[in-house]
Structure 1
């Protein structure tokens, strides 16, 4: 059955404004001054209570929000989707440049202001498209018994006939060949390599064969290289991507399951941003702080050849493997009843070689930026973003999101042009380049504008791609959890099947599919890595919401992830079959969030929830971690003392947050009585915006990832897709356990103190006086 769930070059345009604005221009200068002064806060105050027409501001807010939602049309999303996915468009290519300008054109036509591109010069990686990569197996006599094609076949010619579209490769893989015995390493995570060693199987000097899933591919290769592997092969197991069988009737294009000879492409870079310019933007005129050789020496880039292969090629390897059977939880379904073996090598003395043709090139990438200027607080930014580069056509990742974002922009501008609504704060639209290579476009942007963002950005709301059709799925920071949940209650359910079951909103299905039963709300996770929200949160301390639609599957993502079969056929006929209703709902949720942050008088941020989560969840997790450290009683008391001080600061934060809530309520009431004096509102919002910034440690929390600076939420060192809670402390614990010393012990205490300092910073930020 189908795999489904429930159901700075400018292309600017000028916006002249509303008729009311044009009328103001005609009024005498002195009157303009009076009007401008008294107009401050009117838009906000209308949403509290309008004394003339007795209309509640909540009614006005919801009326405007519904108008925007109604203006988001599936047919427009479909049109944008076809435009953006016409050709394969890898970052740094002319085809991707065309997509950037197609986005700029769509935004400009919609009416966004100051639409322009921001260029960066970055190190990218490409294969030799004329010479496909290959896996070769030869007999001991030298006769060749198997050679992989290295190219996936075209299945839907109208959408997949681009030259070189089928080429199978991984970005930043080392160039060259490797001939050696093969060792099977399951998922290639740290425990897998540790267990393999305990089982007496050596990886050094071998080619590591690893399954995709449960971790970032670049981290798998990083660990394999650390273990001494001279090459690596990654494959998608049929237990993950073809669960109904590999016969034609069970796979694409009949269903969403991965077909024979498909492969997952992707990047192998261990870290984010341009690998040659850590900490600083990769501008043409700026010095590069790292060389290619240094990037390889520091394992930012792999030095060994690496290939992705189909499950049909993986079968050719697995069925020949010698050695003891792999543990039961390492077994997959390639070959049906085939028993996976660990190796090393093949039963009959055959030899394996991988051939990788890879080249590093400095290329220009370009982000696209556009604005809807705020009517009252133009220097407060509500930032919406999605990347647009793809490994091939990218109709799911990322251009399902790119098409939706373009329609959100168009629908908002339509609402502005047809009603009296305009956002109070500025909404900034962002299309990022080279995300697939390692969040490069967004990271370089954040590095260039970090000071501006920390002063102006209220929130960054990211939607990478639509991964399924079952339910909304959200990652966000604690201060924004409530608003992420509340917004879903205002978005109609796109699934007729769900509506017929009484679940009328996106929230209702979310609560059913991904519940947090203990909290009585939908499950919301802390953001990890893997998409463009990461540098905003982890480097700049801008609070983020990262969301998508997912299926019930426990596998990392959808089966056709990063294959050449992500074309509009997949979106329209396999994944979102109710007239792209999920795409439309995603746009409506995005718009609902953006409008809320743009128009709420007091920013919807809840520091009390942050304090509560710290006390009830984060600190108990930390306590469990430090309790497992093998140290003397005296040393443990030193650690526990610092932990107790951190706990006391968290309690202080809870007390101060509750007091600050009273300040917020008083300010809200005062503003409703006197909307012409917004100074107190601005002061309250300034404190709210500053709270997340308190958790940024300029010295960073990770040795290999310069973008990781958030002391509460940073990307995991062991899996770049996941988050690491209090990463500095965990890294210090790991450092002590691998090399016990007084210095490393003191570093654990120091890192606990750094988190405590950040908590104290929030307390002081919320306090009325120093």
Structure 2
């Protein structure tokens, strides 16, 4: 303001014959300045005629100014125009000075950026790179020739979980992730695992013969000694035991001799325990295991995943819980024996004839075929470490896809762990390079993980899920498993959440195999469900992600027509044997596996919306609801006293219909939404992510039954569990409980309805027609 006054004073100092008075008062609102001006000059003499200089004489008797005496002569008009212009100029200068002072004063110099340094933030309004370009970039980064040195680097003859060899491999993976510029970390757990006796051997004695020492073992078996008559039970499936029951064979206290294959080792032991067996001996049959006769077999028999001595909660070192153990631990002895020893036993069995198709040996075993089994496995605590690296997203970095591979093995484990670890590292290198050098910007983050203790039942992965369940279930939207991705070349199999089936099909159509044919044309042959898709099994590393955590998950594998790799769980799982199984094309198949997994990952982090098909669950729910309805009617016909007439599937059917409407409404919302809006995409993606998580029964404790998914999990709370319970009621099984069934039936109904509600955008949009 002082500067303004000074400027104005200088302007008017040049006019000695005029008098000017300024009254500058700032408006209280700070908007404007008022200027009051009175001007007089020599022209008054001419205007007034007489009284020259009278206006300068302050003591004269001056008459009031007469406006009528002011004539509009050219000279007067010029002075008026000059005065008006002068007022405008002064007002402009004052306004400029005042506003400049307001703008500059509060700004710190350090926070001012020049225009050429302003960074325009990424809005995510459109895909950051054309999808075709993303595919081409990935294809350029991977090649079969790059896998041989990676195989060599990550091959190891001894890397059992918790061993020095396992730690060395983990450090190698960590080094690679750091080289690629990824943020890395490790996650340590202290888990209890069961190994064979530190001194001595497990053994058996058949018909008072010589004790046979056994090198192989089954972790988490019960320990002690059991004696009973041998009974051959084929593959130990429920259907196999049903055949034995139909023959009226007494199975109480028997020692079951069972082939490996078709189902997991844990399932075989669990099925035998239901028949009140005292022990189980499992051997690798030559029809499915091409092994030397004396090859030891390793595995675990925990009917679950993770550390069975911390069920439902993580095995961190600082965790303080009272002693507890998983209900999935067997209460009977379990032990593997070599093929040669099993053949020796089978040749001497008496009793009933074997059913048709059960093999070359003719007898099942009689009451006199006594065998004594001794298992002295030792429970030990081991420190294990999972290794992580992340490529952060540019739009939603707190939403991520997880991709992982097991690195431990009982022996060399080339197919079981080396190939998967190599694919993981190569995929991390390729995508990191795309981000660093090629301008690819994933919208969401990618977490790469090297798991350990997978051979003991996916212990490393499950303990991580248990440790961070509340966060992961909200932020991790998919898991892709790389374990044992190459075990053959004749077939391509995928086990996944139904939400991912459409993404699997589109990916198989985009990824070429041989002769420029796509994976879909080569293996699906126009029927993906029949020729490619398989259900997720409990021994699959992807299973706890979907059944325990509610994260859509996937495993895939190139395998042979035998559908089983002969050397899993043995010291014969070597690179040479895998090369023989796939005609020395391991690098080529690993490269295709890398591109398949890479396409899945990149699609999930590239698109505006997650590519999950919400309608896939409609069919599954409807089919199982129809089965339940049929079973209820059957029970009413056979055992009318078991179920009241009031029990109906009406409410379960209504809940199923609610899910169908909710999924349809969400698809409609997607079509009617502006997908260039970041916040809108995030809201829709969160609704999509809620689907799998909402199928976890909220009425089941994770520590009592960790696999809470009512469609893909296990237990009485699942729809399959309801079907099995109805079968038991129909057969008048003494273990069947009509009241327990009705309770689980009601809870399953509300779980499905809750999933439908979770798809709604707002509380006022809920489908309340049930």
Please, what TM-score do these two structures have when normalized by structure 1? 0.78
User: Which residues of structure 1 form unaligned runs of 5+?
Assistant: 1-25, 48-59, 151-166, 242-256, 718-723
CA pair 138-635 structure 1, distance change in 2 beyond 3 A = closer
Check whether the contact 1:701–1:728 (CA below 8 A) recurs between aligned residues: no
Tell me the SS of whatever aligns to 2:401. strand
1:396 aligns with 2:415: yes
Count of residues in Structure 1 that have an aligned counterpart in Structure 2: 651
Deviations 1:28-86 (A, max 9, x none): 6586996454x2215x3455xxxxxxxxxxxx212112211331233443333333331
Structure 2 match to 1:544: 553
Structure 2 match to 1:755: 748
Residues 249-398 of structure 1 correspond to what in structure 2 (within 5 A)?
Answer: 257-291=290-324, 298=327, 300-329=328-357, 331-333=358-360, 338-346=361-369, 352-398=371-417
Structure 1 match to 2:480: 461
Residues 396-435 of structure 1 correspond to what in structure 2 (within 5 A)?
Answer: 396-435=415-454
Tell me the SS of whatever aligns to 1:638. coil
1:709 aligns with 2:708: yes
CA pair 373-363 structure 1, distance change in 2 beyond 3 A = same
Separation in 1, partners of 2:588, 2:707: 36
1:215 aligns with 2:263: yes
Residues 618-633 of structure 1 correspond to what in structure 2 (within 5 A)?
Answer: 618-629=624-635, 630-632=638-640
CA pair 694-137 structure 1, distance change in 2 beyond 3 A = closer
Check whether the contact 1:542–1:693 (CA below 8 A) recurs between aligned residues: yes
Tell me the SS of whatever aligns to 2:383. strand
Higher RCO (C-alpha 8 Å, min separation 6): 1
Check whether the contact 2:351–2:363 (CA below 8 A) recurs between aligned residues: no
Deviations 1:323-374 (A, max 9, x none): 1211113x224xxxx424332344xxxx644343411111111111110111
Structure 2 match to 1:592: 599
Structure 1 match to 2:539: 530
CA pair 32-407 structure 1, distance change in 2 beyond 3 A = farther
Separation in 2, partners of 1:434, 1:738: 42
CA pair 315-603 structure 1, distance change in 2 beyond 3 A = same
CA pair 697-575 structure 1, distance change in 2 beyond 3 A = same
1:486 Cα deviation from its structure 2 partner: 0.5
Tell me the SS of whatever aligns to 2:240. helix
User: Which residues of structure 2 form unaligned runs of 5+?
Assistant: 1-109, 765-770
Check whether the contact 1:212–1:236 (CA below 8 A) recurs between aligned residues: yes
Point out the structure with max Rg over C-alpha.
2
1:739 Cα deviation from its structure 2 partner: 7.1
1:741 Cα deviation from its structure 2 partner: 9.1
1:661 aligns with 2:654: no
Deviations 1:5-37 (A, max 9, x none): xxxxxxxxxxxxxxxxxxxxx996586996454
Separation in 2, partners of 1:438, 1:579: 26
Tell me the SS of whatever aligns to 1:607. coil
1:90 Cα deviation from its structure 2 partner: 1.7
Structure 2 match to 1:192: 240
CA pair 739-571 structure 1, distance change in 2 beyond 3 A = same
CA pair 75-645 structure 1, distance change in 2 beyond 3 A = same
1:94 aligns with 2:107: no
1:138 Cα deviation from its structure 2 partner: 5.6
Which of 450, 453, 457 in structure 2 is aligned with 1:438? Answer: 457
Deviations 1:652-681 (A, max 9, x none): 3323322322221232xx33xxx4x41211
Please, what TM-score do these two structures have when normalized by structure 2? 0.78
Structure 1 match to 2:694: 694
CA pair 624-31 structure 1, distance change in 2 beyond 3 A = farther
Between 1:658-667 and 1:582-591, the stretch displaced more is: 658-667
Tell me the SS of whatever aligns to 1:438. coil
Check whether the contact 1:117–1:366 (CA below 8 A) recurs between aligned residues: yes
Separation in 2, partners of 1:433, 1:276: 17
Check whether the contact 1:700–1:708 (CA below 8 A) recurs between aligned residues: no
1:683 aligns with 2:683: yes
Deviations 1:88-127 (A, max 9, x none): 22222222222222222222223322x2221111110111
Structure 1 match to 2:150: 80
Between 1:211-220 and 1:407-416, the stretch displaced more is: 211-220
CA pair 137-613 structure 1, distance change in 2 beyond 3 A = closer
Tell me the SS of whatever aligns to 2:492. strand
